[in-house]
């Protein structure tokens, strides 16, 4: 089973995706793939923040 990335790693990857989108470095197929990945990373980061806040 693949280990879930740490918050910092997920956030850094999300920033990379945003930078590539802002700089038009992705074609339409890559953009679709990266948007799905970004959604998963946002959920992961949000869940980690919520869990930390609850603790």
- The predicted model scores a pTM of 0.82
Residue 14 contacts residue 45 (beta carbons within 8 Å): yes
For residue range 11-51, what is the model confidence (pLDDT) as tens digits? 999 999 999 999 999 999 999 999 999 999 999 999 999 99
Q: How much is the pLDDT for 2?
A: 67
Write the DSSP assignment of 23-49 as a string of letters. Answer: TT---HHHHHHHHHHHHHHHHHHHHHH
């Amino acid at each position: 089973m693949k280990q879930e990335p740490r918050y910092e790693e997920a956030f850094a990857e999300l920033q990379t995706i945003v930078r590539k989108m802002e700089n038009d470095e992705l074609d339409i197929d890559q953009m679709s793939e990266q948007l799905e990945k970004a959604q998963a990373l946002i959920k992961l980061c949000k869940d980690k923040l919520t869990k930390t806040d609850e603790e």
